[in-house]
Amino acid sequence: MPSARLIDGKAISAEIHSETGARVVALREKHGVVPGITFVRVGEDPASQAYVRMKGAKAEQLGIRSETIVLEEKTAQAELLALIGRLNGDAKVHGILVQAPLPKQIKEDEIFSAIDYRKDVDGFHPLNVGKLLLGQHPLFKPCTPAGVHELLIRSGVPIRGAEVAVLGRGNIVGKPMAAILLQKEEHGDATVTLLHSRSKNITEHCRRADIIIAAMGQAHFVKAAMVKPGAVVIDVGVNRVNDPQAKNGYRLVGDVDFEAVREVAGAITPNPGGVGPMTIAMLLSNTVRAAEMACDGESRA
């Protein structure tokens, strides 16, 4: 059996960035508005630094104004909430992203709830999450599952009626991913099984799936024996494994045993180069959407 077709997240994200860039130009020409996103980072976590730097750089490339505010690790929750309050009231800020993880003295759910839902370009405000679960078209969907959805759509993968196994029940990927695929719409209507660490017979569930979306956070968890021949496999995982040959002594791998699974699957995302670029693409598309709504006076609370 030939190797699986690669679903190229870099190429598809480039398509979306091109569309987003055109929307930025249209906003500037029609309204004289430059979309703006503000990133807030608390502490000096290396991964958070890298993520924010990448997002900010791509925003600037597309003509989106990007600002990064860095607070000390010891910052109190009240101080962060006050900052969010100021950003909520700043008309030049269309999107706000507080980079997780946050220090232990700060409650993430309260921070995400404090962001104006119309500027919640990361898609985690309870109003947006609730609307997604109710099928009421939130202003913004969480970026990673929305990116996976776009990968499937733009790769021509049939979703309606498909059996989908989502591995992982987290609030960032698993739960919203299931909600997106269950929607009564053209690229929804899937039959979704949400699997997690307490699920029984995971292999049997996966073997029935037309689409497997792995977001468990366990390196190479999905093996070839778990995949139905011809199935589509999307690898969301990012895991650090020891590698003495690597410069830093480790390398990043996904939740899927890529080399083995690609010999069974019909289509598969590489990792890196699959889901990761899509997350940034959806974030910046959401930011421009927030600016468009602000210009049109649109709100659907």
The answer to whether residues 188 and 270 touch, using CB atoms and an 8 Å cutoff, is no
- The mean pLDDT value of the chain amounts to 95
The residue from 99, 119, 141, 257 that is catalytic is 99
CATH topology of domain 143-276: Rossmann fold (3.40.50)
The residue from 120, 122, 235, 257 that is catalytic is 122
The pLDDT of 166-185, averaged and rounded, is 97
Q: Does domain 31-116 have CATH number 3.40.50.720?
A: no
Reported confidence tier of residue 2, pLDDT bands at 50, 70, 90:
low
**Can 122 be counted among the known catalytic residues?**
yes
The answer to whether domain 31-116 and domain 143-276 are alike in fold is yes
Tell me the pTM.
0.95
The residue from 55, 58, 131, 141 that is catalytic is 55
Work out the number of other CB atoms within 10 angstroms of the CB of residue 134: 10
Percent of the chain with pLDDT over 70: 98
* Domain regions of the chain by residue span: 31-116, 143-276
**Can 55 be counted among the known catalytic residues?**
yes
**Can 90 be counted among the known catalytic residues?**
no
| pLDDT per residue as tens digits for the range 26-45 | 999 999 999 999 999 999 99
Please spell the DSSP secondary structure of the chain, one letter per residue: -PPPEE--HHHHHHHHHHHHHHHHHHHHHHH----EEEEEEES--HHHHHHHHHHHHHHHHTT-EEEEEEE-TT--HHHHHHHHHHHHT-TT--EEEEPSS--TTS-HHHHHHHS-GGG-TTS-SHHHHHHHHHTS--S---HHHHHHHHHHHHTT---TT-EEEEE---TTTHHHHHHHHHSSSTT---EEEEE-TT-S-HHHHHHH-SEEEE-S--TT-B-GGGS-TT-EEEE---EEEE-TTSTTSEEEE-SB-HHHHTTT-SEE--SSSSSHHHHHHHHHHHHHHHHHHHHHT----
| pLDDT per residue as tens digits for the range 126-170 | 999 999 999 999 999 999 999 999 999 999 999 999 999 999 999
| pLDDT per residue as tens digits for the range 200-224 | 999 999 999 999 999 999 999 999 9
